[in-house]
A and B are shown apart, each in its own frame.
Chain A
Amino acid sequence: MRTDELEKLIRISVCADGLTATLTVQAGVDPEELSADLVGAILEGRGVRIPAEINPRVDELKRRIAEAPEEEIDIIIAEGIAPVHGKDGRFDLDPELCDDEQAKKREESEADADHYGRSAFLVVEEGQRIGKVVPHSDAEDGVDVRGKTIKATPARPCKVKFDESLDVDEDGTVTALRNGRLEVAAERVRIQPVLVVPESVDFSSGNVDFPEDVLVQKGVRDCFTVHAGGSLEIVELVEAATVSANGSILLRRGMAGRGKGEISAGGDLEAKYLDAVNVTVQNDLRVQRELTNCTTYVGRCMHAQSCSVVGGKLDIRFGGQARMLGGEAETETLIRLGVDPKLDEQARELEEILPVALNRLNQATVELDQLKKMAAKLTPTQAESMTSLQFEIMTGQTRLSAIHAAIQQISEAYKRLSKATLSVDKNIMPGVTIVIGNKSAVVREPIRGPVEVSLDESGTLVMKQPSSDSVIPLSTKAKLVPASGVVDVAELERLLDNPLFNEVRAAA
């Protein structure tokens, strides 16, 4: 076949991106008539660069024509080099912090899932790894089959900005520099030291446990928990939930705990009202309107000049003020002043260990006296027992000295606490029980305020009317009853009268 006839039976086509050239040979061509030179010439004629590997490709073409001489054969005869586009730099959040990852984990443990515990906030701690900045990659241009450059798209560096709450080290690792809520936006990552919950704490937000300050702009629903490592402010109603803070708590409205709600403040607590809540406040309590049916412990003072305390139990360490105590229906209301649970615990512990220590010391002394009587004829075992008893007595005496000092200290602390007073502006209603120290009285007739209740120097419950400066025993309006569940300081002091203490002091 003539070359020009042969060329008519061979077609070259280049794909749109210019990266491949395909050679098509129609049926009827004798493969022996094809050569690398001929194909090279045809390629050049069509503007396609002759590839380095033209010989093996032509051999392949010839083999395929020989296998199927009746068919049209095509083969990729030349290939260009695709451009490598650059990849933009990016910030990869640690998988642990990704929503998808958290959702996956939740699905895995769906059977025992805590739906209240599903937090909508990414809370991170100082020093925690947050993610990594992946740098952009370099772009490389390509070449098409005609030898023309194909431009690669250059990459851009990571656009994400990190504020001073985060550290990005040389290898791109991003670490939290403070506790807080991690905010990840398209081009900005930061840690907010204050967690603002814009809605109520409910199933949409999950429980809240944040290491710094928390502001809940609405309320807290039943059974949810909110804990702040700093202070906590809740704008709307708190239902039968559990709220706590290491710092102070401010409830702008109040809490209706229905007997199940709990508040624990490491600092002060301020609320408009508290109803059927279990309250523990380490510092001061401020309630504007009502404290009803709550079990409350106040570690310092209560400031509630405009508040009525109705029902429940209120323990105050140092005293305070209220507008009214008790209700119209003789609601049982227990008010105890000068209460310190830690001191009570120490006193009860001492009450328990003192008799044991005294008994053991007595017993050791008796045993030692018996051995002393036979000092001249002691067996080696008895001699060792005597040494052991002498040592036991010495350590027992040291222990008793420490117990003696502790009882004295506790007794002094109780005396200071018994000076606690409570001022009531309006009324103290029947049904109110007032306990100071080991004195207790149930109010039988309304007591009109302003009045200040305290324990006088003789240990009598009295009420003082500031207007007249008159001091009247509380028993004129109340029935004195034995105080239950309180540490009897006099009883504690009587323990100090044990003659063994005198011996210990003499020995010392």
Chain B
Amino acid sequence: MKILLVDDSKTMRNIQKSVLSQLGYSELEEACDGQDALSKVKAFDPDLLLVDWNMPNMDGLSFVKAYRQDDKTTPIIMVTTEAEKSRVIEAIKAGVNNYVVKPFTPDLLSQRIQETLEKCAAA
């Protein structure tokens, strides 16, 4: 399974990579903002995306909206410090499948990833 990690913090990407490696996923690609992610999705063709909200150049929400114009099904998990209910709803309306609020524990991230994948597989 191919997973794209979109976050401007390398530390966050490293944490996500480590959690995903422990779950057995090794085909990972990284992007440092929404623009970078848009330039990589076609070639990489991910099966899951973990996207931060606040990033320079293009934020996560704009990226999700742009991405969903072409791809309606690939699951997206928003991993962000934006915890307000209105923001969560906004993200889900834009096409996000699941939501992880920072700070998160590695266990929580792992649980959300598995939950999202199972849900999408069942749909």
Contacts and interface: CB of A to CB of B under 8 A. Distances in A.
A395 B18 contact: yes
Interface residues on A, range: 10 to 19
Contacts of A386: 102-103
B11 A388 contact: yes
A400 to B, nearest CB: 16
Interface in B67-111: 81, 101-106
Interface string B53-68: 0100000000000000
Given A388-B15, A391-B18, A395-B18, A383 B106 contact: no
A384 B105 contact: no
A384 B53 CA distance: 13
A388 to B, nearest CB: 5
Interface of chain A: mostly helix, strand, loop or mixed: helix
A387 B12 contact: yes
A383 B81 CA distance: 7
Interface string A384-400: 11111011001100000
B110 to A, nearest CB: 11
B119 to A, nearest CB: 23
B9 interface: yes
A378 B106 contact: no
A499 interface: no
A383 B103 contact: yes
Nearest to A382: B103
A390 B102 contact: no
B15 A391 contact: yes
A47 B62 CA distance: 110
Given A387-B12, A388-B11, A380 B18 contact: no
A496 B56 CA distance: 47
17 contacts: A371-B103, A378-B81, A378-B103, A380-B81, A380-B102, A383-B103, A384-B9, A384-B11, A384-B81, A384-B102, A386-B103, A387-B102, A388-B12, A391-B15, A391-B19, A391-B106, A395-B18
5 closest residue pairs by CB, A with B: A386-B103, A380-B81, A383-B102, A387-B103, A383-B81
